[in-house]
Structure 1
C-alpha cells in the first residue's frame, strides 16, 4: 500500500510538472489580429522584430513621415534657432497651422506644431530652413533613412502628402521611430496634450494645436499608461497609419500600423501589439562592455578577447533556451595590432538563429617573438648600412675633390709667380 501511494504521488507530481511545462510553452498573450497592409512590433534596444505582417511592403505613410522630419530637425538645428517663414510654407495643402510669410518663429515652436498638430506648413518651413528647399530636404531624408536601415523607402516631401513616389514600410517607420525616441525632446513633445503657438511679428493671435493620440489621455477609454510617443497619419490615398512606442520596466517597444481602413481600430490594435510584447518578452543583458569572452594564444602568450560593447537580447518568457556565444577565431600572426584594437568577433545565436555579432578587442599588445625582436632591432640596419656607405663615399669624394682643387690652385699660383 505504501509503495502504491508513493507511486501515485510520483505520478501526480510528474503530470503536474508536465502540465506546467506545457502551459509555459504557450504564449501568455496570443499573437494579435491586427488590421493594416503593413504591421510590425519591434523591440527598440536590439531592433528585433516580435511580430510582423507584410512589414517590408512599400506603402504611402501619410503624416507618419513627420517622424523623420522631426528627427532630422533635432539632429541639425538647435531648438531656439530662429526661422523666417518663406513664400512656400503658407501654400502647403492639408492640415496647417496658418503660417504667414515673414513670420519670425523658433525651431522648437515649429516642431511642436509638426508633431502635435501635424501641420504641413511647419514641415515645409523646417525643410526649407535646413536644406533650402523641399527637394533638397527629401534627399537628406532618404540619406538618413538608409543610414538607419530603412531600405524600402523613398521620400519626396517632409509632410507625407500623397505622391506615388513617396513611400515607406512598417519596418522602416519602426526603425525611424526607434531612433527618434532616443531624443528626450522628441519624447517631451510627443507626450504633450496640446501646444499654444504664441503670436508673432506677423500674426498677433495665439494658435492652438491638439494631440489626437487617444493612448495619451487618462480619461480616454484607450489610455495606455506605458505609451511614450506616437504619430498618426491620414490621406485619402494612404488611408490611416499609426506609429507609436511604449515602455514598461526596461523593455521599450515600437509598433507601426500602416495603410489601414478603420480609424477606430488602429489605437486598439497598437495596444494589443504592446500587450503581446510586454506579456511574452523581456530584454536581458548577456554581455557587459569590457567582459573577457575568451583568450587566444599567440607565441605562448595569452591574449584576452574583450567585448567592445554591451550586448542585449530579447528573451521569450515562455522559452528556457539561452544564447550561445561562438568566437570567430582569426590567425593573429597575420594581424598587426596593439591593445584595444578589434582582432576578432563573437557570434551570438539563440534557438539556432544568429541574433547578433559583437566586435572583440585585444586585451594586450601583440607579443614579439625572438625573430620579430631581432627584426625590430636590426631591421633599421637595412636602411642604416647603405646610408652610411653612401655618406662615406660622398665624404671621400669631397675630400679628394678638395685635394685636387688645392693642387690646381697651387699650380696656378706657381705659374703666375714664374711669369711675374
Structure 2
C-alpha cells in the first residue's frame, strides 16, 4: 500500500510539473581524479567541479603553460640551438643532441605529441633566456590568469614537491591557450615525422598521445581540439582537454587520478556539459542595453561594449536580470564610445559583467559667462571710454543740481527775511 501511494504521488508530481521535470539536469558522472573541473571556455563559468582548488603535482600537463608562453613570446620558424642541459633532460624525450639546430615548431610537435622533456627545456631556454627565467615567467603568467593554487618549478612537470597546480588553475591556463589557433593546428595532429637535422640524420616519428583526437581509438571524441596527458609515479595521472561543439567550447581538467580513468571520465564530463548546457549570446556588441535620462531631458543610449555570452541549462526559460551602475559621474560632456556604466547580468546563480558605453556625443547647454559675453559682443576699450564720459556727465549734472539747490535756498531765505521786516512795521 505504501509503495502504491508513493507511485501515485510521484505520478501526480510529474503530471503537474511536467515541464520542470523535462528540464531537470542529468546528475554529473562520478570521476576518479581528486581535483576536477568542467569549464565553459567562452564565459569562464564552471559546469562541474570537485575539489577545484586542491593542488597536486600535475606532471606533464604542466606543458600547456610552456606551450602558451612559447606561442606568446616566440615565432614558429625561429631556430633553436639545443644546449647540453636540454639534451640531458630526464624522463620522456626524443633524444635531442647538444648543438642540434631545430625550429620552434618542430620542438612544439615533440612537446605536444610525444611529451618530450628535452623539447620543453630547449624551448624554455630559447624563450626565457634560461630555464630559471622561463619558470619565473610561468609563475608570473599563472598569477595574471588568476591561478591561486599554482607554483611551477620546471617547464616539463618532472616531480618536485613544490611543483603543484589545481584542476581549476589548469583550466584557466588552457582557456588562454585556446585563443592561439596555432595550438589547435599542432595539438590535433595525429602523427608527425620530424625532419633530419644537422645532428640527427634519422627522422623522428611522433604519435599524439591524446587518444581523444585519434579517430580509430575507442576514446576518440568528436570535436576535441587538443589536450595533454601527464604521469609520474609520485604525481599519478593528470589530463586536460578542450572540445568544441557548434561553437560551444568546453574544457575538462582532471588532476591526481590514481585509477587512470581520465580518458573515459573526460568523455563523460564533456557529454554531460554538451547535453545539459548551451551557450547563448545575450547581447551583441553595440546593442542598446539600457538608457540614461539626463536632467535636461536628453536620453543617452548605453551600448554593450562587446558580445556577451551566457551559459544556461538547455531549454531553460530563465530571463536575465540586468542592473546598471553608473561609472562616469560628470556627465556635462560625453563622447560617443566613452564608458558610462557597468551592467551586471544575472542568470540564475551566475552573473556576468558588461561595460556600457555612450551611443552618442553629448554636451550640456550652458548660458554664456559674463566675460565670455563681453568678449563676444562688446569692444572692451570702447566700453571703458563710454564709462568715462558717462561718469563726467554725471559729475557735471551733480554739480549743476547742487548749485541750483543753493540758489533756491538763498532765494527762500531772502524772501523769508523780507517778510519778517514787513511784519515788524
Q: What's the TM-score bracket when you normalise by the shorter of the two chains?
A: 0.7 to 0.9
Q: Deviations over 1:48-91 (max 9, x none)?
A: 00000001111111100111111111111111111111121011
Is the CA contact (8 Å cut-off) linking 2:334 and 2:363 kept in structure 1? no
Instruction: Give the 4+ runs in structure 1 shifted more than 6 A.
Output: 378-381
Taking the aligned partners of 2:219 and 2:109, their CA distance within structure 1 comes to 23
Is the CA contact (8 Å cut-off) linking 2:328 and 2:341 kept in structure 1? no
Give the Å deviation of 1:164: 1.5
Taking the aligned partners of 2:374 and 2:44, their CA distance within structure 1 comes to 50
Taking the aligned partners of 1:304 and 1:292, their CA distance within structure 2 comes to 6
Instruction: Please say which of residues 100-109 and 318-327 is displaced more in the overlay.
Output: 318-327
Correspondence for 1:319 among 316, 319, 336: 316
Structure 2 gaps, min length 5 = 1-11, 381-425
1:121 aligns with 2:118: yes
Q: Who is 1:56 aligned against?
A: 53
Taking the aligned partners of 1:110 and 1:248, their CA distance within structure 2 comes to 30
Q: Who is 2:264 aligned against?
A: 268
Taking the aligned partners of 1:163 and 1:350, their CA distance within structure 2 comes to 42
Query: What secondary structure sits across from 2:84 in the alignment?
Result: coil
Correspondence for 2:278 among 279, 282, 296: 282
Q: Who is 2:104 aligned against?
A: 107
Is the CA contact (8 Å cut-off) linking 1:104 and 1:200 kept in structure 2? yes
1:292 aligns with 2:288: yes
Taking the aligned partners of 2:113 and 2:374, their CA distance within structure 1 comes to 68
Taking the aligned partners of 1:15 and 1:72, their CA distance within structure 2 comes to 55
Is the CA contact (8 Å cut-off) linking 2:192 and 2:206 kept in structure 1? yes
Q: Who is 1:98 aligned against?
A: 95
CA 1:361–1:376: 2 relative to 1, 3 Å: farther
Give the Å deviation of 1:23: 2.5
Is the CA contact (8 Å cut-off) linking 1:154 and 1:165 kept in structure 2? yes
Taking the aligned partners of 1:98 and 1:154, their CA distance within structure 2 comes to 28
**Coordinate RMSD, CA, aligned:** 2.3
Correspondence for 2:363 among 363, 367, 377: 367
Q: Who is 2:411 aligned against?
A: none
Taking the aligned partners of 2:242 and 2:90, their CA distance within structure 1 comes to 28
CA 1:376–1:355: 2 relative to 1, 3 Å: farther
Query: What secondary structure sits across from 1:253 in the alignment?
Result: strand
Taking the aligned partners of 2:60 and 2:313, their CA distance within structure 1 comes to 33
Taking the aligned partners of 1:220 and 1:155, their CA distance within structure 2 comes to 33
Superposition map of 1:161-200 within 5 A:
161-200=158-197
Query: What secondary structure sits across from 1:116 in the alignment?
Result: helix
Q: Deviations over 1:237-277 (max 9, x none)?
A: 111001001111121100000000122x1100000000100
Is the CA contact (8 Å cut-off) linking 1:37 and 1:53 kept in structure 2? yes
Instruction: Please say which of residues 18-27 and 312-321 is displaced more in the overlay.
Output: 18-27
Taking the aligned partners of 2:276 and 2:38, their CA distance within structure 1 comes to 12
Q: Who is 1:20 aligned against?
A: 18
Give the Å deviation of 1:151: 2.3
1:248 aligns with 2:231: no
CA 1:336–1:367: 2 relative to 1, 3 Å: closer
Q: Deviations over 1:129-149 (max 9, x none)?
A: 011111100111111122222
Instruction: Please say which of residues 16-25 and 155-164 is displaced more in the overlay.
Output: 16-25
CA 1:203–1:246: 2 relative to 1, 3 Å: same
Give the Å deviation of 1:218: 2.3
Taking the aligned partners of 1:317 and 1:85, their CA distance within structure 2 comes to 51
Structure 1 gaps, min length 5 = 1-13, 386-420
Number of corresponding residues:
366
Q: Who is 1:235 aligned against?
A: 232
Give the Å deviation of 1:42: 0.3
TM (norm. structure 1) is 0.82
Give the Å deviation of 1:354: 4.6
Is the CA contact (8 Å cut-off) linking 1:195 and 1:208 kept in structure 2? yes
- Structure 1 or 2, whichever has the larger Rg, is 2
Give the Å deviation of 1:17: 5.6
Is the CA contact (8 Å cut-off) linking 1:307 and 1:361 kept in structure 2? yes
Instruction: Please say which of residues 211-220 and 192-201 is displaced more in the overlay.
Output: 211-220
Q: Who is 1:5 aligned against?
A: none
CA 1:327–1:40: 2 relative to 1, 3 Å: same
Q: Who is 2:204 aligned against?
A: 207
